[in-house]
Structure formats: structure tokens, C-alpha cells
Chains A and B, each alone.
Chain A
Amino acid sequence: MRPPHSGAWWLWALGLAVAASRTTNPVLLAVILAVAGFVAVHCRSNAPWSSAYGMFLKFGLLVIAIRLVFSIVVGGITGPTVLFTLPEVLLPDWAKGIRLGGDVTAEGLVHALYQGLQLATLLCCIGAANALADPRRLLKSVPAALYEVSAAVVVALTVAPQLAVSARAVRRARALRGDAARGRNAIRTLLVPVLEDALDRSLHLAAAMDSRGYGRTAGLPKRTRVTTAVLVLGGLIGLCVGAYGLLDAEAPAFVGVPVLIVGVVLAVAGLVLGSRRLARTRYRPDRWTVPSVLIAASGAAAGAAAVLAEAFGELALIPSTVPLTAPEVPVVPVIGVLVALLPVLLARREALS
């Protein structure tokens, strides 16, 4: 049986990430973390990058710690419940908006904790995708015409899994030499070789892409090249500006939807033009089989449940921190996120058959 489409795992993880981005409720975030971790552990292959989830989990803990430290030192959100008071550094009048030290309140800490937990959960969703999806197979499915940006896309998409692979290889190599450093010492001795190795791997991959025709410029008339580059880059810029215009309430109306549409049209035109000059065959391409579609749909269900609950005025998604209240359980989004456990059932059925 063929493994699911790599894109399906990314869509599944992005659905969970959408759910996480709509809430700071620690209960819902914990459910998302648990579901993503459970699926990542059960459905991963034995590929070297499949330990990525653990790496992202540790990174998430670091994010929470940094967020808490900043909330203690710089403050921001304050409430009536003062836990302890740090010596306050008096800033000049023009910097009065910033507070250094001073009262540390329970409300501020809980707010920072919720926000840090949200960011950590988003990271772990991406970590689950990295652990589950084969980055090279995913690249095979990328349209051949992401021509001008392909090298950047390759490096960006593979750097996390490559880091996981490199960390493992370097640690094993050091262990074989009798240096089983852990903790802070390990970071000092591992950091440079791991980063160097990961970068090397990404560059190798980019070179391999180049040798297969991605970003190839030889033998093409200059006019075609420039046209494609302008179309693709213009389209991407249009997408960015349009998305910003949509999200910014103050932006003039013509910056939103129209620019977005122009960006999409330009990008599609560029992709079509680019792919026309590149003939590429695929060996055993990934297919959107029924399990793949179900995996993607279960992730989408999790995201949709959270977005719909928010649209229908579910207040439990964002629990109040000033004043402090015990978070309630947003039932519909929790059920939606539990639907994202479906890949485990699919994998089990496959193992039995």
C-alpha cells in the first residue's frame, strides 16, 4: 500500500493550525497538541525526519518560556492580582508607553501563557506535518512551473526535516566517538555541525532540482524568461499586498480583493507559461487516493469547526484573562479537532488488511 499523498498531511496539519490560530483556550490547544502528537507518532514512517515533532515540541516549550519572561520583564497586560513586584526602571517621558519591571500580575502571566501556548501549538502542527510528510515526495508534486522561486521553495520546505536528520546524524557520530554530551554542552558542540550539515543538504537538494530543469535558463529566449519572471514575481507580490489589504480594515477598498484577484491571475499565467516550456516526467507520482482525501478532509474539518464556532459567536474560544476566569470547553471545536484523529483509524485498518 502506498503512503498517503504528502500534500494531504500538510493540509491536515494546516487545518489543525487554523483551529489553533482561532483560539487561546488552553483546553482546546491541549487537545490540538495531543491529537497532532498522537497522529504524528502513530502514522509516521521510519524516515529520518520523522522525529521532527519532538523537536518542534521542545521549540514550543522554549517559545512559551520566552513569552513568559518577556511578560514578566516588559509587562503590558496588567490586572488587579499582583503576585510580586520587580524593581521598576523609570524610563524617560517619551518611552512612557513601555514599562520595565514593576508589578507582575497573575492576569498578565496567564495571558502570556495562553499566547505562548497558542504559538507553540501552531509550531507543533507544522512539526507534525514535517514528521509525517516526505519533503522530497512533496516537492515532486509541486508544479514544475514554480520555476523562478523553486530553489527558495526547496530550501524553505526542507530545512526543518533536514535539521532533524542532521541533528540525529551528528549526535550519533559524536556518540560513537565517546562524546555523549547532553543539555547545554550538547548545544555548544552540536550547533555548528548541525547547521552546516543541514544547509549543505538543502543546497544539494537545490542543485539536484537545478539539474532536473528547475530554474534552468539555458536555451530559452530572453523574452520568455523575463515574461515568466515578471508574471510569477508580480503575481506573488500581488497576493501579498492583496492579503494585507484584506486583513487591514484601514486599507482603501481597491487594495483588498481586486489586487488579490490580479495577483492570482498573474501568478497562474506565469505558472502556465513556465510549465509549458518544461517537459518533465514523474516516476510513480503521488496520487490523491481515498485515504489521502480523508486525511486532508479530517484536518479541514478541525479548522472549519473552529472558524464556524467563532463566526457563530463562541466566546469560550478566547477565555477572558482580565478578569481571570476558568476556561470553558468550546464543545464544537473540540469535537472538530478530535475528528482529525481519523488518520490513525485509517492507518490501523490498513495494517489489518
Chain B
Amino acid sequence: MVVRRGHCSHAGTVIFRLLLTGFLASAALVVGAPTATAAACESTGVTVVVDFGSLGGGVQTRCAPGDPNSGLAALAQAGFGYTFPTRQPGFVCRIDNRPGPDIDACVNTPPATAYWSYWHADRGGSWNYSSFGAANRDPASGTVEGWSYGAGKAPGVAPPAKPAPIPPVVPPQPVPVSTTAPPVVPPRPTTPVPTTVAPGSSALSSSVALPTTELSATASASPVPTSSVPESITPPLSQPEPTAAQKESGGGPTTLIVVGVVVVVLAGVAAVTARRRARDE
């Protein structure tokens, strides 16, 4: 199950072509059974919006198909990897391995000024700060989940609105970036020009309610550094990357055995001595 995405430089050409033909296309290609798509959901599924804020990478919108039973499951099924801080699992300290270990070592709960805040919304509604943890909240199918990095600010784009209920139309030409054309939806009449969300401008556009169409969501999701995009959707949890300190001092199996022997010898001798002294007294 692989999600392929158009290259950044192709996105512009795609938009123009589609404008000319009057169609919107999703750049995501879904192979086989329902899986994460790099756009807001159609009618069912939970749309997941991740705003990387100051970390760079803009706002990514993807779809977790079906009805995930928790906010974390929705995040994972939408193809985002997340990491818990080791001392306090349950919080989310990294999404798609960001922020990196240079900003947050992911050991303690992140500070209130730079953390992943968790939001939820109805399609086309407004963001609500979740009063439940992401593991405890069961998002309803057809709603939007938001994750925003920073000091608890809502994601920089409005929750994507519902797509217009018009049956999909097959485009006449295959789109160059995707190998097969997925079902596409024509633009809603109220949206004459689709607006794209550039990664750098996400902070600026936070107050502007963008016309949220399939294309804008797609375009915002596509210009992503390829290193952070999971090729496969399967691993829900990402490992914290080992730092130099860990590599240096983390002893191998030999150290573990040596330390284990030391502990057993100390405990054994202590037990024997304690017994002897208890008998003597």
C-alpha cells in the first residue's frame, strides 16, 4: 500500500492543466483497499490536518479511511508517524520525526510553548481544542482532526469543507504525475480560483479562511520533503533517532551481561550475609 505523490515542481503544471480542463484532480494514487490519501476525505473517513508551523513543511492534509477508534489511530492511519516522550508516553512529541532531537529530546513532556496541540472540528466548521487526550477521543467518521505545532495555536488552515455531492467524472487525459487518474471532483461553483497553501506561508494564512477544495488540500500536502514522507503507511510509531550520546554510551549486550552478573553477585552475597547475620544474632 503505497501513496505516491507528485513532485513539487510538477504541482504548478498540474494545477494549470486542470484549470484549463476545468477539473480538479487528486495527486494521490490509491492502490488496492482503502488507505490513506493525501487530501481531505470524500464523505466518510477522518480528515487529518497537520500544521508543522515553525518547523517548516507547511500544512499537510490527509485522509484516514473508515472510522479510526482514537485520535492517535486516525493520525497513524492517515500516514503520519508519531513518537511519545519516553518519560510520559501518551503525549505526542513528534509527528513524522519532527521536531528533531536538536529541538526536543522526546524524553519529558514538551513545554507549553512548543508542543503538538490536538484539535477537532466538523467539516467546514471551526477548530476546537480537544479536552481529551488523542488516545481517549474517538473521532466520528466525516469529521476533521487537527495537529498544530507551537504554543497551542489552532492549525493554520480552516477545517476542509465537505466536497460537493456530485458524482465523480473521469478526466479525458491521464494526469502526468500520477500513473492512473483517480476519481476527481469538479470545483464548487463558489470557488472560482483554487488557492494553494505554500508551506512557508502557512503562518500568514492562519487568519484567512481559504477556499478549501480538494485541490488546495492536495497542493498543500504535496510539497513535502521526501525524507519525511512515509513511503509505507504501515508503521504507526516512529522510533526516536539515536543521538551521538546514546550511540556512545549505550552499552551492547556484553555490558548488559557484565552489569547483570554484578547485580546477581551483589544481591546473592547480600542475601547470604543477611541470613548468616540473622542466624548469629
Q: Known contacts A111-B89, A319-B86: does B136 contact A99 (CB below 8 Å)?
A: yes
Cβ B89 vs Cβ A328 within 8 A: no
Provide the bound-state CA to CA distance between A66 and B119, in Å.
35
Cβ A37 vs Cβ B87 within 8 A: no
Q: Pick from B132, B270, B273: contact of A96, CB below 8 A.
A: B132
Q: Does A323 contact B (CB under 8 A)?
A: yes
Cβ A321 vs Cβ B270 within 8 A: no
In the complex, what residues of A have CB within 8 A of residue B163's CB?
A: none
Cβ A315 vs Cβ B242 within 8 A: yes
Q: Does B159 contact A (CB under 8 A)?
A: no
* Most A C-beta atoms less than 10 A away, residue of B89, B136, B246: B89
Cβ A34 vs Cβ B262 within 8 A: yes
Cβ B136 vs Cβ A315 within 8 A: no
Cβ A314 vs Cβ B245 within 8 A: yes
Q: How far is the CB of B232 from chain A (nearest CB, A)?
A: 16
* Mask: chain A, 26-48; 1 = CB below 8 Å from B; 0 = not: 01001101110110111000100
Cβ A38 vs Cβ B262 within 8 A: no
In the complex, what residues of B have CB within 8 A of residue A97's CB?
A: 132-133, 136
Provide the bound-state CA to CA distance between A80 and B277, in Å.
48
Interface window among A11-19, A148-156, A223-231, A329-337: A329-337
Q: How far is the CB of A325 from chain B (nearest CB, A)?
A: 8
Q: Pick from A37, A46, A78, A321: contact of B266, CB below 8 A.
A: A37
In the complex, what residues of B have CB within 8 A of residue A319's CB?
A: 86
Q: Does A190 contact B (CB under 8 A)?
A: no
Q: Pick from A34, A78, A309: contact of B270, CB below 8 A.
A: A34
Provide the bound-state CA to CA distance between A261 and B267, in Å.
43
Q: Does A312 contact B (CB under 8 A)?
A: yes
Provide the bound-state CA to CA distance between A51 and B281, in Å.
12
Residue of B nearest to A76 (CB): B90
Q: Pick from A38, A315, A321: contact of B269, CB below 8 A.
A: A38
Residue of B nearest to A115 (CB): B87
In the complex, what residues of A have CB within 8 A of residue B54's CB?
A: none
Q: Known contacts A38-B270, A313-B243, A315-B246: does B87 contact A24 (CB below 8 Å)?
A: yes
* Most B C-beta atoms less than 10 A away, residue of A46, A249, A313, A341: A313
User: Which residues of B (209-250) have their CB < 8 Å from a CB of A?
Assistant: 236-237, 239-240, 242-243, 245-246, 249-250
Q: Pick from B87, B237, B251, B267: contact of A318, CB below 8 A.
A: B87
Q: Does B84 contact A (CB under 8 A)?
A: yes
Q: Pick from B105, B112, B133, B269: contact of A313, CB below 8 A.
A: B105
Cβ A27 vs Cβ B256 within 8 A: yes
In the complex, what residues of B have CB within 8 A of residue A99's CB?
A: 136
Cβ B86 vs Cβ A320 within 8 A: yes
Provide the bound-state CA to CA distance between A76 and B135, in Å.
9
In the complex, what residues of A have CB within 8 A of residue B107's CB?
A: 315, 318
Q: Does B111 contact A (CB under 8 A)?
A: yes
Q: Known contacts A31-B263, A34-B262, A313-B105: does B136 contact A96 (CB below 8 Å)?
A: yes
In the complex, what residues of A have CB within 8 A of residue B1's CB?
A: none
Provide the bound-state CA to CA distance between A315 and B133, in Å.
25
Q: Known contacts A41-B277, A42-B273: does B250 contact A328 (CB below 8 Å)?
A: yes
Q: How far is the CB of B124 from chain A (nearest CB, A)?
A: 25
Residue of A nearest to B244 (CB): A313
Cβ B86 vs Cβ A318 within 8 A: yes
Provide the bound-state CA to CA distance between A338 and B266, in Å.
11
In the complex, what residues of B have CB within 8 A of residue A34's CB?
A: 262-263, 266-267, 270
In the complex, what residues of B have CB within 8 A of residue A328's CB?
A: 246, 250-251, 256
Q: Does B169 contact A (CB under 8 A)?
A: no
In the complex, what residues of B have CB within 8 A of residue A320's CB?
A: 84, 86, 239-240
In the complex, what residues of B have CB within 8 A of residue A35's CB?
A: 266
In the complex, what residues of A have CB within 8 A of residue B136's CB?
A: 96-97, 99
Cβ B86 vs Cβ A330 within 8 A: no
Provide the bound-state CA to CA distance between A315 and B242, in Å.
8
Q: Does B259 contact A (CB under 8 A)?
A: yes
Q: Does A73 contact B (CB under 8 A)?
A: no
Q: Pick from B87, B239, B246, B255: contact of A314, CB below 8 A.
A: B246
Provide the bound-state CA to CA distance between A288 and B273, in Å.
28
Q: How far is the CB of B128 from chain A (nearest CB, A)?
A: 15
In the complex, what residues of A have CB within 8 A of residue B236's CB?
A: 80
In the complex, what residues of A have CB within 8 A of residue B281's CB?
A: 46
Cβ B237 vs Cβ A329 within 8 A: no
Q: Does B31 contact A (CB under 8 A)?
A: no
Provide the bound-state CA to CA distance between A31 and B256, in Å.
11
In the complex, what residues of B have CB within 8 A of residue A38's CB?
A: 266-267, 269-270
Q: How far is the CB of A253 from chain B (nearest CB, A)?
A: 15
Q: Known contacts A27-B259, A80-B237, A331-B251: does B274 contact A41 (CB below 8 Å)?
A: yes
Closest 4 CB pairs of A and B: A328-B250, A329-B251, A34-B266, A322-B89
Q: Please report B residues at the A interface, Cβ cutoff 8 Å.
A: 84, 86-87, 89-90, 105, 107, 111-112, 132-133, 135-137, 236-237, 239-240, 242-243, 245-246, 249-251, 255-256, 259-260, 262-263, 266-267, 269-270, 273-274, 277-278, 281
Q: A38-B266, A315-B86, A319-B86 are in contact. List 11 more A-B contacts (CB 8 A).
A: A34-B263, A77-B89, A78-B135, A97-B132, A107-B89, A309-B249, A314-B245, A315-B242, A315-B250, A320-B239, A320-B240
Q: Give 17 pairs: A residue, B residue, CB < 8 Å, sorted on A.
A: A31-B263, A37-B270, A51-B278, A54-B274, A96-B136, A249-B111, A309-B249, A313-B243, A313-B245, A314-B245, A316-B246, A318-B87, A319-B86, A322-B89, A329-B250, A331-B255, A338-B262
